[in-house]
Amino acid sequence: MIGNCNPVGIFDSGAGGLTVLSELVKLMPGESYIYFADSANCPYGSKPAEEIVKLSDKITQFLISKGCKIIVVACNTATAAAIDHLRASYSIPFIGMEPAIKPASLNTKTKSIGVLATAGTFKGRLYIETSRRYATDVNVCYQVGEGLVELVEAGKANSPEAEELLHRYIDPMVDCNIDQLVLGCTHYPFLKPVLKRILPNHITIVDPAPAVALHAKRVAENQSLLCKANHSGKTQISFYSSSKTDVLKKLVGLSIKEVIDDIYFDNIKL
């Protein structure tokens, strides 16, 4: 039975969704959370949509078996491939990653924006529809961030290899006179320290995670799913991974700055 103090579920292909989890904890500190990292199958970006749907379905079943009342698909690629299927298959609410094309297009002064994302995200219905709706009069510089997720998962987000690869991807966008850079993968905020070093000061980095977390809170409020019993505001988080949890633990320390009352790690096979 789903109650308003059941946990919030979050999943991603790996550790990228931690950037969304951090924002959720800021807005809803009294909730308990279950985070699933499908590290054994990471990255999702180049996988066929059918495979991503199957993986997302298995993870969803696991999270529901743990009693999750709402699930945040904290992965742009999984959102693009599987969110429609998940909403049609299960009765609980699902929150997906919204492409941040809208705020970037509305705020650009140069009428040129950059989008760094996975191949799967660029092919998704949400991304295509949002681009058609909000970016018709804006020059959009697209770039598939091949190799970036692997660097983050290897704990090398702030490494010389990451800086070299980002220069290759970002420099052509700078030449296109962008003033907004949209991060279209939840792993990419881990690259912000390098991005801030190599980007000109006038370019704004657009991270959709805060807006997605705010939307999740609004959905929980509208459906009376906010936990009101935990007045202490203490947060409990359980982390599960389909592979080893070593890197996940390290990245949790980098991304979750809030006070956590209880934390648990385990690895399972789907």
Tokens of 50: 């059918």
Whole-number pLDDT of residue 117:
93
Q: Rounded CA gap, 37 and 144, in Å?
A: 22
Whole-number pLDDT of residue 72:
98
Q: Rounded CA gap, 74 and 247, in Å?
A: 18
Tokens of 39: 């590290």
Whole-number pLDDT of residue 233:
62
Whole-number pLDDT of residue 143:
95
Whole-number pLDDT of residue 2:
64
pLDDT, mean of residues 113-123? 91
Q: Which amino acid is at 79?
A: T
CATH class (in words) of the domain with range 101-207: alpha beta
Q: Rounded CA gap, 83 and 72, in Å?
A: 10
Establish how many alpha carbons lie within 13 A of residue 163's alpha carbon, considering only the half-sphere containing its beta carbon: 9
Handedness of CA 178, 214, 23, 27 (dihedral sign): positive
Active site residue: 42, 68, 141, 185, which one?
185
CB contact set of 109 (below 8 Å; sequence gap of 6+): 179
Q: Give the domain ranges of the chain.
A: 8-97+210-267, 101-207
* Percent of the chain's residues with pLDDT above 90: 74
Q: Measuring CA to CA, how many Å separate 22 from each of 16, 27, 99, 129, 187?
A: 11, 9, 19, 28, 13
Whole-prediction pTM value? 0.92
Question: Residues, the chain, total?
Answer: 270
Q: Which amino acid is at 61?
A: Q
pLDDT, mean of residues 55-74? 97
Active site residue 141: no
Question: How big, in percent rounded to 5, are the helix, strand and coil portions of the chain?
Answer: 45, 20, 35
Higher pLDDT, 98 or 10: 10
Judged by average pLDDT, the poorest of 134-143, 167-176, 245-254 is 245-254
Whole-number pLDDT of residue 3:
67
Whole-number pLDDT of residue 258:
65
Task: Give every strand in the sheet of 70-73, ordered side by side.
Answer: 94-95, 70-73, 8-12, 32-37, 236-241, 262-267
Whole-number pLDDT of residue 51:
97
Q: Give the model confidence (pLDDT) of 184-234 as tens digits.
A: 999 999 999 999 999 999 999 999 999 999 999 999 999 999 987 665 667
Q: Give the model confidence (pLDDT) of 7-26 as tens digits.
A: 999 999 999 999 999 999 99
Q: Give the model confidence (pLDDT) of 130-169 as tens digits.
A: 888 888 899 999 999 999 999 999 989 999 999 999 999 9
Active site residue: 75, 141, 176, 227, which one?
75
Fold observed for domain 8-97+210-267: Rossmann fold (3.40.50)
Q: Rounded CA gap, 21 and 72, in Å?
A: 9
Mean pLDDT of the chain: 91
Is residue 1 very low, low, confident or very high in pLDDT (cuts 50, 70, 90)? low
Answer yes or no: is pLDDT of 262 > 80.
Answer: no
pLDDT, mean of residues 107-120? 94
Q: Rounded CA gap, 76 and 74, in Å?
A: 7
Q: Rounded CA gap, 67 and 48, in Å?
A: 29
Active site residue 75: yes
Rounded to 5°, the CA angle 176-182-183 comes to 125
Is residue 41 very low, low, confident or very high in pLDDT (cuts 50, 70, 90)? very high
Q: Measuring CA to CA, how many Å separate 18 from each of 9, 10, 257?
A: 12, 9, 11
Mode of pairing for the β-strands spanning 180-184 and 139-144? unpaired
* Percent of the chain's residues with pLDDT above 70: 95
- Asked if 8-97+210-267 and 101-207 have one fold, the answer is yes
